[in-house]
Amino acid sequence: MAVRALWYRDGTLFLIDQRKLPGRSVVLRLRRLAPVAEAIRTLTVRGAPAIGVAAAYGMVLARAEGRLGPDAAAEVLRRTRPTAYDLFVGIETVRSAWAAGEDVEAAADAYRERVVEECHRIGTAGAPLFAKAHRVLTHCNAGALATVEWGTALAPIRVARSRGAHLFVWVDETRPLLQGARLTAWELARERIPHAVIADNAAGHYLRTGAVDAVIVGADRIARNGDFANKIGTYEKAVVAHENGVPFYVAAPWSTFDARRPTGRSIPVEERDESEVLALAGRRVAPAASHARNPAFDVTPARYVTAFVTPDGVLRPSEIARAIPRRTAA
């Protein structure tokens, strides 16, 4: 069984501390809004669907604390990370229930269940794509850690494997924070799914030499025309896959689709601290006088996407705008 990234019980949000994996398995217990916001900002919990669910429970804790009203509490959480649309959907789901005097814990629970259930449906919808395409490349971590359970990109891989497909996963290490090498590899190793971690700049080599049958990634925000933001480096992989005729799939629940954004041009791209690039595993590698730039995401144009794997099936980019359900707006 895949791991569960977070859960809520009796006024406490339990989170696996993803900064410590794979070396140590530490579960944090959070009871107030501020530590939840800090956990999202520091990537203690990360991945678009998972931060949406964590933020939903952050709103529940804020309501119990009683220091802030729904709008102020929502603002604290909105300021943590700008790119993942799910964050804003999770916050808004509970903010509106709170403002309407409804049961906020029930709203957060229902939101979490919807995300988990949609990820499972992504797995079922996407699994046939991998019945013959056995060598799959993925970038960052779009597994259970990033989504609470199942994953987005990893869900079809899990389901295809449970149906007997012999899959092999190329895992981009995903500099600077190594979500691939640390987290995706950890999830695959736990379930004994064959894989190899590769340096980010090795992906082009394997795509060109015929060692990859398909690429699948998650997303942080998808515009109506199918342009999408995902972990920095995704754009390069999509272009190289296209150049080599390798199908490129993007898997996401409906909470990642931003119906009000016509194209990817205006998607906000988070820029993180330069220290994440200047150091490797906490040790400075660049000269003391050097500075760095650290965009956490890039935006890939829809023309590089073969199909989106959604909870409601595999859709071409041109089909997205009409398929986005109304209820997902933030």
- Supply the residues annotated as catalytic: 220
Determine which residue in the list 44, 80, 93, 152 makes contact with ligand MRU, applying CB under 6 A: 152
Q: Of 30, 33, 23, 26, whose CA–CA distance to 8 is shortest?
A: 30
Cβ neighbours for 160, distance < 8 A, ≥ 6 positions apart: 126, 127, 128, 129, 130, 131, 167
Bridge partners (DSSP) of residue 315 are 308
Given the complex with ligand MRU, which of 7 and 68 has the nearer CB atom?
Answer: 7
- Rounded to whole angstroms, the Cα distance separating 233 from 302 reads 16
Given the complex with ligand MRU, which of 141 and 306 has the nearer CB atom?
Answer: 141
Q: Which 170-189 residues touch ligand MRU, going by CB under 6 A? A: 179
Stretch of 4-12, 215-223, 239-247, 303-311 lying at the interface with ligand MRU (CB under 6 A)? 215-223
Q: Residue 235 CB, nearest distance to ligand MRU (Å)?
A: 12
Say whether 300 sits in a helix, a strand or coil. strand
Q: Residue 59 CB, nearest distance to ligand MRU (Å)?
A: 19
Instruction: Report phi then psi at 312, rounded to 5.
Output: -110, 25
Given the complex with ligand MRU, which of 146 and 299 has the nearer CB atom?
Answer: 146
Q: Of 144, 185, 140, 135, whose CA–CA distance to 165 is shortest?
A: 135
Q: Of 85, 10, 19, whose CA–CA distance to 46 is shortest?
A: 19
Q: Of 57, 126, 40, whose CA–CA distance to 97 is shortest?
A: 57
Q: Residue 100 CB, nearest distance to ligand MRU (Å)?
A: 29
Residue 311, preceding peptide bond in cis (omega within 30° of 0): no
Determine which residue in the list 44, 80, 147, 255 makes contact with ligand MRU, applying CB under 6 A: 147
Q: Which 33-92 residues touch ligand MRU, going by CB under 6 A? A: 43, 46-49, 84
In 254-311, the DSSP E strands lie at 279-280, 283-284, 297-300, 307-310
Determine which residue in the list 230, 300, 306, 310 makes contact with ligand MRU, applying CB under 6 A: 230
Q: Residue 67 CB, nearest distance to ligand MRU (Å)?
A: 27
And the tokens for 162? 């449970």
Binding of ligand MRU by 259 (CB under 6 A)? no
Say whether 268 sits in a helix, a strand or coil. coil
Under rule CB under 6 A, how many of the chain's residues touch ligand MRU?
Answer: 19
Please tell me what DSSP assigns to residue 304. Answer: G
Given the complex with ligand MRU, which of 213 and 276 has the nearer CB atom?
Answer: 276
Measured from each CB, the residue nearest to ligand MRU is 218
Say whether 92 sits in a helix, a strand or coil. helix
Given the complex with ligand MRU, which of 40 and 107 has the nearer CB atom?
Answer: 40
Binding of ligand MRU by 300 (CB under 6 A)? no
Q: Residue 154 CB, nearest distance to ligand MRU (Å)?
A: 8
Which residue ranges make up the site for ligand MRU (CB under 6 A)?
43, 46-49, 84, 140, 142, 146-147, 152, 179, 217-220, 230-231, 296
